[in-house]
Structure 1
Amino acid sequence: MSTPTLTAAPPATPLRRLGTAGVFAIALAATVVVAAVHVTQGTSSIGALDLLQLAFGAENQDAARVLVASRLPRLLAGVAVGLALGAAGALLQSIARNPMASPDTLAVSSGAYLAVVAAASFGLTLPLPMSGGLAFAGGLAAAGLVLALSAGGRTSTTRLILAGSATMLALHSLTNLLMILFEEQTTGLFAWGSGSLTHSDLDAVTQVGPVIALALLAALVAAPKLDILALGDDTASVLGVNVRRVRLGATLLAVLLSAAAVTVAGPIGFVGLCAPVIVRLLPPALGLNRHRVLVPLSALAGVLIVLCSDIALRAVLGAQAGVEVPPGVVTTVLGAVVMVWLARRYRDAGPARRPPTVRTTTVRSRAAFWTVVAVCAALLAGALVLGMLGGDTWLLTGDVANWLQGRTGRALTYVLDQRYPRVLAAVLAGAALAVAGTAVQAVCRNPLAEPGVLGVTAGAGVGAITLLSLVPLAGIWSMSAVAGFGALVAFGLVYLLSWRGGLSSDRLVLIGVAMQQACTAITVLIIVESDPWNTAKALTWLSGSTYGRVPAQLIPVTLALLLVVPLVVWLRRDLDLLSLDEDSPRILGVPLEPVRLAALGGAVLLTATAVSAVGVVGFVGLVAPHAARALVGGHHARVLPVAALLGALLVSLADTLGRTVIAPAQVPAGLVTALIGTPYFVWLLWRSRARGAA
């Protein structure tokens, strides 16, 4: 998929100036109308007529109090956030020359959010300027990491999105861990994590507003150099522009604007993606590609997106939803739609499709393969024993041996009866996710992909959380069925939307990431609507946990393994060919689409049952297959058993570590796997980037 180039517009003619002015006039008029509608909504009985009378001098203390204390702060917060995120998105897309760059895809908002939550977790009550500075530092660190891993985002849209989504997952894992461990200190921050416009005064806007205004002014000053930079680095250098300095300055401005938005309202998703894209969809003859027009117009578009999302949310779900449901849920779903549209419109042949780190032709001797299998099996057996021994109560191997023979006392029997389903659930789910990841990577020809990237895990999570919220005492089979249905619906949508005269691997990944974000937003909506104060339960489930597992919950994932593993083993040679390129399987007579569909369908089934068993666990489907290929080569006959053993080993150790490191409190296994898998993923991206440059 070739990344679209943002070109500078030709010199403005009087007609174009008139057209540009007309667009601005329409945008401003629309903003005024939307703001007028927005200010009439609220939980009180004060309506549009009361506010209109107040505007014409009538005395109405109740209306004045509601306007000043609630509605005006919410309106101005939405305006400030929209301006900041719209302009930040325009700057980041220009820097990366990539229409999918935004404060969200570059993990800027996630880094800023983590910094704010970390301060709250440790009991730090910071004044607003210091909180904004902390958010700026967190966002800058996240953006720097993503841009470094993706070579600035200019070489491949897929690489940029994968680097950003993996960084977001890691940062969200850290954030969720802090909110679970410090539940009292972070009460209310879960919903705020998707954006909240609820304010009781104007302090936040009045303190952050000047920062946003100055950043917008600085962006307008730098606009001519950004126009030249859009022509290409070499051309810009010839024309006297210091490319590195301009790109660094624009990045700092974008991160500053994003941090300001997070400080005011939390991370409101994908406004920075949608606003510039909407502006660029307007006719080119209007001359809107010049940055002195693009940046402020994107800022106005951001305001319209935020305010319209808030209006729609309260119009559909009621006025009280404006307090309980974050408007970021609506903007994230809108952003997912825009990502799907962009993915279907552009093509990408970037280096992320087949990084040099994967070589299916690598050959290992049979003795080396069996040695690896034996070592992995021995390590897994040790992990099983350690899992039975470890926890808030440490046991001895003799206790386990006596329990197996039915000779332990009531206390030890109770502990081990509670512990063994957790240990087995971790092993089975880890193996299922690893096999699913192996199939997904083969079909996508992308070792940076995993079931979560295709939206399958998040779709299963939506189904499971929906059932947990509506029917807390639902049975095991109901949970597995609903999770499987959610995964199947998500996968079906991703597959159908990715099909366009054939199945593009890069398009599949990009649309899968969009589906993942949309499902995550829907999950947040379900949680805050059903039980807004009991976020620990939902966070634990969404972070992957074996807590409270019973033997019956092991049956679905066991059956899925028994059904899918033989299927994938039967398709092993076809998967070898799929991993090479698009043409080799066709030449050799492989029925390409049926094999893809069978492999991905098996991955969906394995992922859904694993989610029903242990919740949402990330990175296992990424790390285990890649580590297996590094150990035994690229042939799937060897990769599959080693990946399954490594996946089981990883989740088992993560679960044991989470149960023991801060006992009696527990860290969900999914958070531990994310914290382990993130450094590996970063190393993998950096290594493939370095080899690609070489």
Structure 2
Amino acid sequence: MSQLSAPVRSGSATQPTPTGPLAPTRVVTAFVVATALLLVVTAVHLTQGTSTVGALDLLRLLTGSDDEAARVLVASRIPRMLAGLAVGVALGFAGAALQSLARNPLASPDTLAVNAGAHLAIVGVAAFGISLPALPAGGLAFCGGLVAAGLVMALATGGQAATTRLILAGSATALALNSFTMLLMLLFEQATIGLFAWGNGSLVQADLTAFTQLAPVIGIAVALLVALGHRMDVLALGDDTATVLGLDVRRTRLVVILLAVLLSAAAVTLAGPIGFVGLCAPVIVRLLGRMVPGVHRHRVLLPLSGIVGVLIVLGSDVLLRAVLGGQAGVDVPTGVVTTLFGAVLMVWLARRYRDAGPTRRPPGGHAAVRSRSFHLGVVATAAAVTVGAVVLGMLAGDTWVLLGDVVNWVQGRTGPAYTFVLDQRWPRVAAALLAGAALAVAGTTVQAVCRNPLAEPGILGITGGAGIGAVALLTFVPLAGVAAISGAAGLGALLAFALVYGLARYGGLSSDRLVLIGFGVWQGGTAVITFIIVTSDPWNTGKALTWLSGSTYGRTGPQVLPVAIALLLSIPAVVAARRELDLLSLDDDTPRVLGVRLERTRLLALGAAALLTSTAVSAVGVIGFVGLVAPHAARALVGGRHSRVLPVAVLLGAALVSLADTLGRTVIAPAQVPAGLVTAMIGTPYFVWLLWRSRGAATGPR
């Protein structure tokens, strides 16, 4: 059995030790087969495009008799093919190096947020109207990717403590960086026009300039990684063993990280962040270990991963244009296809995953025991803060009003101007308030059921499914009513939840597996949303970006109603199940001993979370971190009992989203920052602190 599909034990590497026997004949055969496939895919790739030049025209070009075919090749197809070749090699090598370094099969430029950091750096420059050549842009992307990777690796204790921890640290960091990127794209929409599609990985090239500047950088980095192959083999034996054998572990790690980030940054500069190639290529090569002994040696693994990376990139591009036509290669980013492929592979890996890492512990395990009077004081304070947030939300905006104006408006005695302002404002305040409360309750139940203090509804794929439903309806039925949008978002969320839950039940429900599968479904959902946007209206992404960033703009009273109904239905049920949630957060055995029907309780709790999340998404769009921050803050204040956590979490979640919405529509008025981006900016530092605080548990004995 491949180690990738075997149970992962704490402290062990997640790939076979690269010191096994080498079968030269089989290794050579593997390279020959991979190279032959590469030549076939490349030849097919050159025959596709928007022009009428086909395979026969290209054959006639060999005799020098077709000038039109030559022009098409030089102007469009060869630059696109070479870009795919360079990106595939760069990401294949980078992914293999990062997985070996972290000893984690799910480490990659995506899960370590390298691509997100590089993407933010490039968009940040473009937003201010600065146009850089390929090499300076690549240097900037390298700095952004290096900072992001360093942060994630530090938070995940080098990536070796637990795969779930690595994914959570990387996804949170990437979410925060992507939030800043989306904010820049919204605020500077004209300067960043067209970057939405590029931001999902597009091979479209105007000429060979970028390739000719970045290809030497990629070539040098690839050669250096191959030269370091023997040192990486020794490093894979473990830090202690490598040190005994005379290897400078720290220097080797630093050099490999720098080279991997440099390759990722070059790929992002050339074609944008093409997702999951760095994850899929090394995994596919490692799965050949039983048929090709010695493939795990890095001087074999790295080049094969580079070839497979090219096959994934160019093969995805060929598949895209074969199914949807030549124009789809221009409109639809290749990264959408690779992300879908990577999401499927990640789900497949997660179904074979066995781990009980340090993140899998009762979420209230470190909460202090508080007295009843202290609890009541916290509830009263949280209620006062929430009321204050609502009042501030009604007063603040591009037009400020006085408290007396609000009182007169309630009594129906304001003039037309203030009446119009407050009639437009109260649905936004109500939507933020109720959505925050709904996400807080959902996050509390998800963390209890998963026994994972770092989980939240978004990473379980629920918001991705809701996003697909709502964006699809907004795109294909622009005049759809409020009820239809809410229904589509709810249906998408419930289907995504059913998919994640059903896949995670394989071999017994595991909280780690649930998170990993949910992450894969979330990424796949994001790719589908991107596909819908770029194929329907690629030059008007502001509408979808605003909704995906979580905004209360244009909300009406009927749009708030589903959230209120979901809260009225779910909160009593969750409160009634508070004892069961307390028991579920401990372990699997205690609830069974005490008569709790484990599977039914889990299903009902997660179903309530899905219902609450779907209605919140339908009302305000995708808002992250609320379901993570509010329950944690509540447990830190009042302890781990859900009878105390739930009311405080509801109030804190409502206040957080309400304040975020108010801040977003007043700081740069009349322009607005979506509430979801503000909560990401607030929630990310808290999440980073939470991960950093728990590093001791990750490095300690299990």
TM-score, length-scaled by structure 1: 0.98
The residue number in structure 2 matching 1:44 is 51
1:441 to 431, 440, 447: 447
The reply on whether 1:166 has 2:208 as its aligned counterpart is no
1:471 to 467, 477, 482: 477
**Matched residue SS, 1:286:** coil
For residue 344 of structure 1, what is the aligned residue in structure 2? Answer: 351
Which amino acid in 1 is paired with 2:566?
A: A
Query: 1:200 Cα deviation (Å)?
Result: 2.2
Distance 1:665 1:89 in 2: 40
Residue 269 of structure 2 aligns with which residue? 263
- The equivalent residue for 2:86 is 80
CA distance in 1, matches of 2:367, 2:377: 20
SS across alignment from 2:694? helix
Amino acid at match of 2:14: T
CA shift at 1:10, angstroms? 4.1
Quick one: distance in 2 between partners of 1:223 and 1:586?
50
CA RMSD, 1 decimal: 1.1
CA distance in 2, matches of 1:466, 1:346: 33
Structure 1 counterpart of 2:533 = 527
Question: 1:326 aligned to 333, 336, 342, which one?
Answer: 333
Q: How far does the alpha carbon of each residue in 1:58-107 deviate from its partner, in whole angstroms, 9 at most, with x for none?
A: 32111100000000000000000000000000000000000000000000
Q: Is the 8 A contact 2:289 2:296 kept in 1?
A: no
Structure 1: distance between partners of 2:18 and 2:488: 51
Alignment match, 1:149? 155
Q: Give the TM-score, by structure 2 length.
A: 0.97
Q: For the Cα contact (< 8 Å) 2:19–2:233, is it kept in 1? A: no
- Report the alpha carbon displacement of residue 4 of structure 1 after superposing the two structures with TM: 4.5
Matches within 5 A, 1:394-409: 394-409=400-415
Match of 1:382 in 2: 388
**Paired position in structure 1 for 2:294:** 287
- 1:597 equivalenced with 2:609 (yes/no): no
- State how far apart, in whole Å, the 1-side matches of 2:553 and 2:18 are: 58
For residues 31-78 of structure 1, give each alpha carbon's deviation from its aligned partner in whole angstroms, at most 9, with x where no partner exists. Answer: 0000000000000000000001102x2321111000000000000000
Aligned to 1:24: 31
CA distance in 2, matches of 1:524, 1:213: 32
Contact 2:367–2:636 (8 Å) recurs in 1: no
Shift of 1:683: 0.1
How far apart are 1:693 and its partner, in Å?
3.8
Which of structure 1's runs of 4+ aligned residues deviate more than 6 A? none
User: 1:80-479 residue pairs with structure 2 within 5 A?
Assistant: 80-284=86-290, 285-354=292-361, 358-359=364-365, 362-479=368-485
Deviation at 1:691, TM superposition (A): 4.5
Deviations 1:408-443, CA, capped at 9 Å, x for gaps: 100110000000000000000000000000000000
Matched length: 690
Is it true that 1:536 corresponds to 2:542 in the alignment?
yes
Provide the C-alpha distance between the structure 1 equivalents of 2:263 and 2:366, rounded to a whole number of angstroms: 44
Inter-CA distance 327–287: structure 2 relative to 1 (3 Å threshold): same
Matches within 5 A, 1:547-626: 547-626=553-632
**Cα displacement (A) at 1:680:** 0.2
CA distance in 2, matches of 1:434, 1:219: 46
What SS does the corresponding residue of 1:347 show, helix, strand or coil? Answer: coil
Residue of 17, 40, 45 corresponding to 1:8 = 17
- Could you tell me how far apart the structure 2 residues matched to 1:9 and 1:366 are? 58
Quick one: distance in 2 between partners of 1:626 and 1:197? Answer: 42
Corresponding residue for residue 637 of structure 1? 643
CA contact (8 A) 1:7 1:231 kept: no
Provide the C-alpha distance between the structure 2 equivalents of 1:544 and 1:200, rounded to a whole number of angstroms: 34
Q: Give the whole-Å Cα distance in 1 for the aligned partners of 2:602 and 2:177.
A: 32
Matches of 1:272 and 1:527, distance apart in 2: 25
CA distance in 2, matches of 1:239, 1:456: 48
The C-alpha deviation readout for 1:660-687, integer Å capped at 9, x for no partner, is 0000000000000000000000000000
Per-residue CA deviation, residues 603-644 of structure 1 (Å, 9 max, x unaligned), is 000000000100000000000000000001000001011000
Return the alpha-carbon distance in structure 2 between the equivalents of residues 7 and 301 of structure 1.
Answer: 19
Alignment-mate amino acid for residue 206 of structure 1 = T
Q: Does residue 66 of structure 1 match 2:72?
A: yes
Provide the rounded CA distance (Å) in 2 between the counterparts of 1:474 and 1:196.
31
Deviation for aligned residue 1:472: 1.1
Tell me whether 219-228 or 346-355 shows the greater mean CA deviation. 346-355
* 3-state secondary structure, aligned to 1:642: helix
Contact 1:361 1:635 in 2 (8 A): no
Mapped to 2, the partners of 1:250 and 1:6 lie a distance apart of: 18
Contact 1:429-1:648 at 8 Å conserved across structures: yes
What is the aligned-residue identity percentage?
A: 68
Q: Does 2:41 align with 1:34?
A: yes
> Any unmatched runs of 5+ in structure 2?
1-7
Q: Write out per-residue CA displacement over residues 129-167 of structure 1, whole angstroms, 9 at most, x where no aligned residue.
A: 100000000000000000000001101000000000001
Please state how far the C-alpha of 1:286 moved relative to its aligned partner: 2.9
Q: Which amino acid in 2 is paired with 1:340?
A: V
**CA deviation after TM superposition for structure 1 residue 19, in Å:** 1.0
SS of alignment partner, residue 289 of structure 1: coil
Change over 3 Å in CA distance of 1:687–1:10 after alignment to 2: closer
Q: How far is the alpha carbon of 1:587 from its aligned partner? A: 1.4
Shift of 1:571: 0.8
